Amino acid sequence: YGQAVHRNEFGIDRGIFWSPDSKKLAFYRMDESMVTDYPLVDISTPIATLKNTKYPMAGMTSHQVTIGVFDTQTGTTRYLQTGEPADRYFTNIAWNTESNAIYVAEVNRGQNHLWLKRYEAVSGSLSATLFEETHAKYVEPEHPPVFVPGNGGQFIWQSRRDGYRHLYLYDTGGRLIRQLTKGPWEVTRLVGFDAKSKNVWFEAAAPSPIENHLFSVKLSGGAIKQHTRAPGTHSTEINRAGSYFIDTYSAHDQPGATALIAAGSGKRQELASAADPFEGLVIPSVEAGTIKAADNQTDLYYRLVKPTGFDASRRYPVVVYVYGGPHSQLVTNRWKYDARGWEIYMAQKGYLVFVMDNRGTSNRGIDFENVTHRRLGVVESQDQMKGVEFLQALPYVDRQRMGIHGWSYGGFMTINLLLRHPGVFKAGVAGGPVIDWKYYEVMYGERYMDTPQENPEGYAETSLLPKAGKLKDRLLIIHGDEDPTVVLQNSLQFLKASINAGTHPDYFIYPGHGHNMIGKDRVHLHEHITRYFDDHL
C-alpha cells in the first residue's frame, strides 16, 4: 500500500497522492501474490538466508495494481472501478482542482495503447475516457496532466504523438484546444505557469539536444520565447507569480552559476558563480563533437577525454565507456561535458576515454529512440562501432590497446560488442550485465522487446548466450550477488555458456551488494576496474 509500483517505470516515483483540499488521499495498492518468488541469498548469516523477491520476467505473470481513495473526513476507502484486464499499468495519477475527480493514464500490457481516464473520487466510477494514444511500437506516458492555475477546466498533457515530446492544451471534456509547442526537439520538463500573462514555462533540449534551456509560450498559442541564453544545461525554478525564476546552470567551460532573472524584462542578477576548481592544475582536457551514425545520416554526440600532458605524436590506449540504453544521455553541455571522475582519473593515468550516445538514447525524439525496438543491442552496437572507427582513424590512438567498459545496459553492450566484433577490443569490463532479455523484468523488457512469445527471433538475436564461444578478448564480469535489478542468473548463465563453449571470462562478485556497489566497496570497485585495464591494455 502507498508505494511506487510498476518497478518505477512510467515516471512513477511515489505511491500516495493528496487531493488539493487535503481531505482525500489516493494511493496505489499492489498485489504480487500471483508473481513467482525469485530467490536472493544473503550470505551474512552463519547459515545463508534465502531472501525472496518478486521479479516478473518478460512474458510471465505480472503483479496487479489498484488505486484506492481514502477519505480523511469519513475514514472510508473506495477503490477505482478500473475493471479488466487486471495486468494493465496505471500511471500518472493526478487530481483535478476541485478534489472530486482523479485522472489516470492507463496503458495496456503490450504498452502500445494509452487511455487517459477520469474517475469520480467518491464513488470510484469511471466518468470519462478523455482520449487515447497508440503507437506501433510503444507509448510511454511519464507525466500526469497538469491543471492550469485559475482554470480547472484546462490541463497540459505531454505527448510524443508527433515524434517529439511536446505540450498539448486540453479541456476536461477531452477536447484538444491546441498544441502549444512543436518542432524537432523535446520538452524535458514543465516548470510552471504565469497566471498574469497566461504563459506556460518549460525546459527543452533545444536549440541543441545536448543543452537544456528555459522557454515560455502563451496558453493562447503563438511564438515560443527562450529565456536562458548562455550555452549550457540550465535547471530553473519559477516563483508562483511567474515573475522571476532562478537559473542554475553549467557548461563545458563554466563549472556552475546561479542567477535571478526577471521573466518580463529578462534582467539578470548574478547570485553565485563557481570558480574553476582546477585553476592552476594541469588536468586532462575534454572535448566534444559529432560523428555519423551507422545510417550515415544521424549525428551522434561524443566526448573525448585526453590525458594530462597530451602529445599528439604519441599513441595512447583507449577505454570506451558505454551505456547506450533508453532513458540515458551521457554527453551534455555541462561542466567538462559531463565527464565523470573516473574518466578524468583514467586520463590522468595516460588513457584516452571515449563516450558516445548511440541511437536508442534520450532527448532526440521517438524515432531516434525506438529504432532499437524488438532488437536491443543491434543498432546500438552498429553505432558504437562507428565511434570505434572514428577512434582508430586518429593518429594518436593505439588501436591495439582498446578497452571497453559499461554497467547494467552498458554491461550488456560491453559483452555484446566483444562478441559481435572479436579482436577489436583487447579487454572489457562489464558490470551487472543483462545477458538475455528473457531474464529481465516485465515492464522494461516487454516495452522494448515485446514478450519472448511475440518476438522469439528478436530474443534469439540479442541473447549473448549463443555467442559465448566468440569471446576472444579479455573480459571481466562484475556482479552484486543480491542484485534485484539485473539478477545474478544473467551472468551465471553466461559463465555456463562460456564453459560449454570453451571460453574463459574472468568473474568477480561483490557479496551483499545489489545492482550497484555502495560505501567503501565502491572505491574497491573502481580500483578493480582500473587494475584490469592496467593489466591488459
Q: Give tens-digit pLDDT for 125-175.
A: 999 999 999 999 999 999 999 999 989 999 999 999 999 999 999 999 999
Is 259 within a domain? Answer: no
135, 327, 515, 528: the active-site residue: 515
Is 274 within a domain? Answer: no
Exposed e or buried b for every residue in 24-52, given b needs 16+ CB within 10 A? bbbbbbbebeebeebebeeeeeeeeeeee
483, 491, 498, 536: the active-site residue: 483
Sign of CA dihedral 416, 417, 421, 424: negative
Q: Give tens-digit pLDDT for 211-242.
A: 999 999 999 999 999 999 999 999 999 998 88
Q: Are residues 231 and 366 in the same domain?
A: no
Is 251 within a domain? Answer: no
Q: Are residues 187 and 125 in the same domain?
A: yes
Query: What is the structure's pLDDT at 300?
Result: 99
Read off the pLDDT of each residue in 316-325 and give the average, rounded to a whole number. Answer: 99
Contact call for residues 304 and 286 (beta carbons, < 8 A) = yes
Q: Are residues 166 and 310 in the same domain?
A: no
Residue 265 clears pLDDT 90, i.e. is over it: no
515 among known catalytic residues: yes
Domain limit, last residue, from 184, 218, 239? 239
Residue 86 clears pLDDT 90, i.e. is over it: no
Is 250 within a domain? Answer: no
Range of the domain at 382: 285-536
Query: What is the structure's pLDDT at 456?
Result: 98
Domain limit, last residue, from 174, 206, 239? 239
Measured distance CA(344)–CA(338) in Å, rounded: 11
Domain limit, last residue, from 210, 239, 268? 239
Q: Are residues 524 and 429 in the same domain?
A: yes
Q: Give tens-digit pLDDT for 19-50.
A: 999 999 999 999 999 999 999 999 999 999 99
Is 267 within a domain? Answer: no
Q: Are residues 303 and 425 in the same domain?
A: yes
Q: Are residues 176 and 233 in the same domain?
A: yes
Is 113 within a domain? Answer: yes
Beta pairing class for 352-356 and 299-306: antiparallel
Q: Are residues 351 and 470 in the same domain?
A: yes
The total number of structural domains in the chain stands at: 2
338 among known catalytic residues: no
Measured distance CA(426)–CA(351) in Å, rounded: 14
Contact call for residues 350 and 310 (beta carbons, < 8 A) = no
Is 177 within a domain? Answer: yes
Is 115 within a domain? Answer: yes
**Total count of residues recorded for the chain:** 537
Q: Average pLDDT of the chain?
A: 96
CATH number for 517: 3.40.50.1820
Query: What is the structure's pLDDT at 242?
Result: 83
Q: Are residues 233 and 290 in the same domain?
A: no
What cell does 479 get? 556482479
62, 362, 408, 498: the active-site residue: 408
CATH number for 199: 2.140.10.30
Query: What is the structure's pLDDT at 2?
Result: 65
